[in-house]
């Protein structure tokens, strides 16, 4: 007797990651967490300077404040979101939705939450939205940021270099003429 095997679809790592992450609007009360996320993105850089812990903290606080102020003045209507997993804050994603483009202002996860498919899942969701709404996705990446590999793998192309930053863009193959 033959065995009747039913085909099932196994969710990908990024699909599983998407289900485990919730989002909520960032609030003033999240500032300390947002400072910690920001500092975690500068760890390698801070390891290269011969500063005291107090000097590093002061520098990171100043830089966080400058970035936070710039983002909110440059993109006042953007979506500033805290990412949570099992009720714990694990990262941030800031998105500015425009008529013809979805611009990812910033995305950052705590170090212990990286390399688990969460970034892929988040960016893939934005790409799906852009495809449905006939928009492109843009984002800037520092020239030394390893996330470039992720964006290249997802089909983003570098369209501009501006100092230490590269502008990447993705267009849905269905809407490449947009």
How many domains does the chain contain in total?
A: 1
* Inside any domain, residue 5: no
Q: Is the pLDDT of residue 68 over 70?
A: yes
CATH number of the structural domain spanning residue 125: 3.40.630.30
In 10 A of CB 68, how many CB atoms? 16
* Inside any domain, residue 72: yes
Specify the pLDDT at position 2: 42
CA distances from 126 to 13, 51, 68, 73 (A): 17, 39, 22, 23
Determine if the pTM surpasses 0.75.
yes
Contacts of residue 15, Cβ cutoff 8 Å, sequence gap at least 6: 121
* Inside any domain, residue 2: no
**For residues 66 and 161, what is the distance between their CA atoms, to the nearest angstrom?**
22
pLDDT tens figures, 90-125? 999 999 999 999 999 999 999 999 999 999 999 999
* Inside any domain, residue 1: no
Strands 88-97 and 165-170: unpaired
Specify the pLDDT at position 20: 78
* Inside any domain, residue 119: yes
* Inside any domain, residue 6: no
* H-state helical runs in 48-163: 53-74, 118-132, 147-153
User: If you average pLDDT over residues 144-149, what whole number do you get?
Assistant: 90
User: If you average pLDDT over residues 49-76, what whole number do you get?
Assistant: 97
* Inside any domain, residue 4: no
Where in the sequence is the domain holding 59, given as residue range(s)?
13-175
* Inside any domain, residue 7: no
**For residues 105 and 94, what is the distance between their CA atoms, to the nearest angstrom?**
5
């Amino acid at each position: 007797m033959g065995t009747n095997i039913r085909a099932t679809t196994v969710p990908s790592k990024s699909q599983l990651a998407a289900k485990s992450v919730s989002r909520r609007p960032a609030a003033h009360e999240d500032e300390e967490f947002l400072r910690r996320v920001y500092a975690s993105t500068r760890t390698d850089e801070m390891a290269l300077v011969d500063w005291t812990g107090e000097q590093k903290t002061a520098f990171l606080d100043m830089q966080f404040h400058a970035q936070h102020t710039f983002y909110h003045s440059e993109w006042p209507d953007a979506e500033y979101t805290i990412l949570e997993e099992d009720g714990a804050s694990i990262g941030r994603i800031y998105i500015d939705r425009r008529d013809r483009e979805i611009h990812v202002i910033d995305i950052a996860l705590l170090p212990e939450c990286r390399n688990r498919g969460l970034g892929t899942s988040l960016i893939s969701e934005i790409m799906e939205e852009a495809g449905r709404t006939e928009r492109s996705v843009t984002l800037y990446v520092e020239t030394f940021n390893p996330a470039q590999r992720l964006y290249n793998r997802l089909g983003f192309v570098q369209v501009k270099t501006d100092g230490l930053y590269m502008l990447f863009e993705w267009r849905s193959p269905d809407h490449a003429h947009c």
